Amino acid sequence: MTTVPARSDVPAESTWNHESVFPSFAAWREEYQAASDAIGDIAPFKGTLAQSPERFAEWFDLHATIARRVWKLYMYPVMWQACDGENEEIKGMVGQAQGLAGNFISSASFAEPELLEMDPGELLQWTQSEPVTQLYEHYVDNLMRTKQHILSGELEAALGLLSDPLGRIESIRGALNDMDLTFEAATDSAGVAQPLIQSTRDKLLADSDREARKTAWRNYADSYLKFSNTLATAYLASVKSNVVMARLRGYDSVLHAKLSPNNIPVEVFHNLINTYQKHIPTWHRYWDVRRRALGYDRIHPWDIWAPLTVDDPALTFLEAVDMIAAGMAPLGDDYVATMRRGCLEERWVDYAINEGKSEGAFSYGTYDSYPFIMMSFDGNLSSMSTLAHELGHSMHSHYTRAHQPFVYSHYSMFAAEVASNFNQAMVRAQLFARNDDRNFQLALIQEAMDNIHRYFFIMPTLARFEFEVHSRMENDEPLTPETLNQIMADFYAEGYGKTMTDDPTRTGITWAQFGHLYEAYYTFQYATGISAAHALANAILAGDDSDAVERYLAFLRAGGSKYPIPALMAAGVDMSTPLAVEETFKVLEGLVDRLEGLI
C-alpha cells in the first residue's frame, strides 16, 4: 500500500450501517432537539419516587425511554468520528451529544439519593412482592450495597453536570491522537515510503520487511514523544479527576471506586498482577524462541509482530467470517446465523481502511441499534482474529439486549472481555485442529501470540503503570511526563528481560498510545477476561459437559442482571482466585513449546 483512500472512496459495504440509526444528519438534529425537550419531563418526578410502587415503576420507565434516546444520539456521531475523523460536521455533533448526556445525567441524579432516603425494608419489600417493581430487585440490592458512596441529590446533580467537561479530557487526547497527530512515513529496505497512519500501523508492524517494521515502530513512537507534555497533561488531569471523585464518594482508592460498583474485590486485580509477575520468565523465553525462529542475533521491540512465515494466508472479509462461523459452530445455529447476518447483510462492521480512521478496534452500539464494530481489516489471520474478538462483544450485546430490559442492558467491562476472548479461543482451537501444515501452524501461532501478547503482556503492564500512577497521585507525589515515561520504561524492561534488546526512550511513551487508560483499571480486565475465556472455551471444546454451552449462553443473556463474579461462576469459572490466570499461562507456555518444536 503506497496510498490510503479517502473515506468517500471506500465501498459502502465495508462501512457501518449508519442509515439504520439515523437516515441523515438532519434527522439526528431533529431528534436531538426532541430529546433535549423530553429531559424536561424528568422534573415532576423529583420528590415523588417514594409515593408508591407504581410511581417508582413509572420513573424507571421514563428514565429508560429518555436514556435510550440520549445514548443513541451520542453513539451516532462518536461512532462516525471514529470511522471518519476528518468530517467537520460530526465534530460539532459529538460536542452537542456530550452536552446532552451531561444534562440528562444531572437531571436524573436526584433519583438514587431519593430512593436511599426511603425505609430500606419498604424498598426491598416493593421489589420482592410488588409485581410492577419486582424487575428492579437486583438494581435495588446493588444500590443498597453502595449506599455509603452515593451523595446527596444536589451533589449528584453537580457531578452529573461535571461529567461533560471531565469527559472532554479524554476527547482532547482523542482529537490529538486521531486527527492532529501525524507520523513520518515508514521506509522499507528498498527505500520505498509506506504511509503510516493509525489504521496502517498494525499492518506495518507485521510486515515481513524488517526495515519497514523498525521505521514504523520508531516513527510512531517519535510522534508521541513530540507531544509528551500535552499527552501527559491530559492523562494526569484524568487521573486527578479519578482521585477526586473517589475521595468525594468515600472510597479508599480509585481501584476500590472502579471495582466496587460491580462488586469485584480488589484482590482480583492484585491476583492478576502477582500471577503475571511470577510468570514473566515465560515471556523472556518466548522472546528468545521468537528470535531463533526469525533467525536473528538480537530481537528488538519492532520484531514482536514480525511474521513467522511468509505464507500467512490472505483472506477476504467473507473468508474471515466463514472461519469465525466454523469456530463458533459449537454454540449453535442461532449464534452463527445471527453473527453471519450481522457481518454480511446488516453491516455491523466498519472494516474499511481509510484516511481519518481511528486506530484499534471496538464494538459499540445502543439498546436500539445494531452492535456495530469499528476496525481496519488487513486481510490476514490477525485481522480475522480481531474480527472474532469484536464479534464476541457484539454477540454479547445482542443476546443481552434481546433478553434483558434496559436497566440490565449494560454488562460490566469485567464480563465484556470474556466474550471477546472466548471467540478467539474457540476459532483458534478449530483452526489448529483442521490444518497441520507447518506454515499454517506458524501463522496461527503468530496470531495467537499477538493476541496473548496484547492481553497478557501489554495490558497487565499498563495495569501496573496505572496503579503506580494513581497511587502516587493519591499520595500527592510529583508526577511529570518524564516520570510517566520512566515508570513505563521500567515495567517494560522487567517484561523484556535480557532476551529483548530494548529502546527504553521509545518504549517509555507506550502509555500515551492507549486511550484505554482514560477508563481507569480497564486494562487489567483484558487479562482476567482472556483467562476466564480460555477456561470456558476449554470446557466446551473438551466435550465432557453437555451443559457447558447453555451455561455460557446464559452468561451472555444475563447482561447486567447479575454481578460478574457469580455470573461467571455459574458459567463455570471462579475468577475470585488466580487459578484461571495460572491456566492461561499454561496456554502461553504450550504455544511457546509448539513454536519451539516447529523451529
> What's the pLDDT tens digit per position in 486-527?
999 999 999 999 999 999 999 999 999 999 999 999 999 999
> What's the pLDDT tens digit per position in 229-270?
999 999 999 999 999 999 999 999 999 999 999 999 999 999
Across the beta sheet with 349-350, what order do the strands follow?
349-350, 372-374, 362-364
Dihedral angle sign, alpha carbons of residues 390, 394, 399, 401:
positive
The answer to whether the beta carbons of residues 435 and 424 sit under 8 Å apart is no
Phi then psi for residue 529, to 5 deg, are -65, -45
> What's the pLDDT tens digit per position in 410-430?
999 999 999 999 999 999 999
* pLDDT over 90 at 171, yes or no: no
Cell (9 digits) for 440: 499454517
Alpha-carbon Rg for the chain in angstroms: 24
Average pLDDT of the residues in 391-405: 98
- Give this prediction's pTM: 0.87
390 given a catalytic annotation: yes
Q: Which residue is associated with the grid cell 445514548?
A: 71
Q: Which of 281, 375, 283, 370 is nearest to 321 (CA)?
A: 375
Residues 6+ apart with CB under 8 A from 470: 239, 242, 243, 253, 254, 255, 520
Q: Which of 326, 332, 310 is nearest to 440 (CA)?
A: 310
The answer to whether the beta carbons of residues 508 and 393 sit under 8 Å apart is no
The answer to whether the beta carbons of residues 381 and 315 sit under 8 Å apart is yes
Cα distances (angstroms) measured from residue 545 to each of 79, 329, 405, 429: 40, 16, 30, 18
> How is 465-533 classified by DSSP, letter by letter?
HHHHHHHHHHTT----HHHHHHHHHHHHHHHHGGGS---HHHHTTGGGG-GGGGSTT-THHHHHHHHHH
Rounded CA separation 524/386 (Å): 19
Residues 6+ apart with CB under 8 A from 505: 225, 485, 489
Dihedral angle sign, alpha carbons of residues 202, 291, 587, 319:
positive
The answer to whether the beta carbons of residues 159 and 151 sit under 8 Å apart is yes
545 pLDDT band (50/70/90 cuts)? confident
* pLDDT over 80 at 570, yes or no: yes
pLDDT at 2: 56
* pLDDT over 60 at 1, yes or no: no
Rounded CA separation 364/360 (Å): 13
pLDDT at 531: 96
Dihedral angle sign, alpha carbons of residues 481, 487, 491, 494:
positive
Q: Of these residues, 390, 417, 447, 466, which one is catalytic? A: 390
Mean pLDDT (the chain) is 94
Pairing assessment for the beta strands 362-364 and 372-374 based on DSSP bridges: antiparallel
Domain ranges across the chain: 16-169
Cell (9 digits) for 423: 471467540
Q: Which long-range contacts (CB under 8 A, 24 or more apart) does 127-133 make?
A: 130/53, 132/53, 132/54, 132/56, 132/57, 133/53, 133/56, 133/57
Q: Which residue has the higher pLDDT, 355 or 31?
A: 31
Q: Which of 336, 338, 335, 383 is nearest to 361 (CA)?
A: 383
Rounded CA separation 91/56 (Å): 38
Residues 6+ apart with CB under 8 A from 8: none
Cell (9 digits) for 229: 507534555
Rounded CA separation 374/198 (Å): 13
Q: Which residue is associated with the grid cell 507485521?
A: 206
> Other C-beta atoms within 10 Å of 140: how many?
20
**Residue 306 per-residue DSSP state:** -
> What dihedral do alpha carbons 387, 389, 390, 392 form, nearest 10°?
120
Q: Which residue is associated with the grid cell 499454517?
A: 440
**Residue 138 per-residue DSSP state:** H
**Residue 313 per-residue DSSP state:** P
**Residue 227 per-residue DSSP state:** T
Rounded CA separation 265/288 (Å): 36
- CA 86-227-88 angle, to 5 degrees, is 15
Cell (9 digits) for 481: 511526563
**Residue 403 per-residue DSSP state:** H
Cα distances (angstroms) measured from residue 565 to each of 180, 298, 397, 415: 41, 43, 18, 8
Average pLDDT of the residues in 314-335: 97
* pLDDT over 60 at 150, yes or no: yes
Pairing assessment for the beta strands 372-374 and 186-187 based on DSSP bridges: unpaired
pLDDT at 172: 82
54 pLDDT band (50/70/90 cuts)? very high
pLDDT at 135: 94
Q: Which residue is associated with the grid cell 487489567?
A: 524
Q: For residue 373, list its beta bridge partners.
A: 349, 363
The domain defined by 16-169 carries CATH number 1.20.140.70: yes
> What's the pLDDT tens digit per position in 56-105?
999 999 999 999 999 999 999 999 999 998 888 999 999 999 999 999 99
